[in-house]
Amino acid sequence: MPIEKDGKIMFTLADLKPIAEGNGIVDGTFGGLILGNPHSDGGIKVIRQYKDEEFYEVIAEFEGWEYILNPLATTKEMEYLTKLNSECDETSELFTEFEIPNGIEIIDTRPIFENIKETNKFILLSEWSQFIINKHSTKKYLTELDNLNKKYSK
């Protein structure tokens, strides 16, 4: 069971072991297009190791159709990513899903059991910062974001 420590929700390795064994944790450190629940359906919990301890903290909630960049792309392209992310206002237009072009890196967090949205997976990140692009900007710039992410994955 998760605990609260320093005002944060924490999981122990023992808590995460059965989740990991059931393929309930997805590695997000390399970046990619996130598939999974929207915020309105509980979103996708993001975890990382807490300091140097044996705890993992919930650090954020992402949603499906957002794009996460790897740490090096985040560091090298922060100004450009900020510009792209701020270009599309999430409140001004209704979001519609779209066909994903071939070759796009995918982080699939969709629920383990299709009809039970609460069974969505966790995304595990490293200790390094990773930029998340809102779903509207992702839709507009997906191929560009994926190419940029791959450029810094080598």
Compute and round to an integer the Cα radius of gyration of the chain.
16
pLDDT tens for 27-44 read: 999 999 999 989 988 899
How many Cα atoms sit within 13 Å of 16 on the Cβ side?
22
Mean pLDDT over each residue of the chain, to the nearest integer:
90
pLDDT tens for 45-104 read: 999 988 877 889 999 999 999 999 999 999 999 999 999 999 876 666 788 989 999 999
Collapsed DSSP state (helix, strand, coil) of residue 90:
coil
Neighbours of 35 (CB within 10 A): 18
Residue 24 has pLDDT above 80, yes or no: yes
How are strands ordered across the β-sheet holding 3-5?
3-5, 8-12, 55-62, 44-49, 122-124, 25-27
Q: Which residues contact 105 (CB under 8 A, 6 or more apart)?
A: 30, 31, 32, 33, 146, 149, 150
